[in-house]
Amino acid sequence: MNTRELIIVDDNADHRYLMRQIMKNYLPQYNVNILDGGEQLFKVLEEKVRLDANGDLSAAIILDFHMPFYDGLSILKILKKNPDRNKVIANIPVIMMSNGGTEKQVADCYEAGASAFIKKPIDFITLKDLMVVTCDFWIGANRIPKSALAD
């Protein structure tokens, strides 16, 4: 079993519930941590950096673009800011997810360091299929060289 986890950050309780059900029933081989906002994400990542001496934090982070207080783009900028200070966090792939997304929003996310920008499906089956592909690639196949994680 793969121990690298996917972190999902979404302020919508219904969407978090759907993601939990998909992960539990269709993707139980993958670890997932589902959070409700940026402040919670920052606390989780700080704790992981403190505890994980190997730098094997998370496979990827999926960020909802539209959230109150810290929106997804603001969170992304904070995560990718100053990569020399914390290469471990700055090198975690970040996948932006949104119901929409203008060309400017998509471009802004890539400019800020997003690894991908995906449209949030409105139906369960499409969301499940998207999560299967996402987990298989970002957790199962994608690798970050250890040299990119070293301080």
Q: How many angstroms separate the CA atoms of 135 and 138, rounded?
A: 5
Assign 121 to helix, strand or coil: coil
Q: Digits of tens for pLDDT over the chain (151 positions)?
A: 346 789 999 999 999 999 999 999 999 999 999 999 999 998 888 887 776 655 556 789 999 999 988 899 999 999 998 665 577 788 889 999 998 888 999 999 999 999 999 999 989 999 999 999 999 999 888 877 654 544 4
Instruction: Please indicate, yes or no, whether the overall pTM of this predicted structure exceeds 0.85.
Output: yes
User: Taking Cα atoms as reference points, which of 23, 21, 116 lies closest to residue 63?
Assistant: 116
Domains (range + CATH), the chain: 5-149 (3.40.50.2300)
Contact between 135 and 142 (Cβ < 8 Å): no
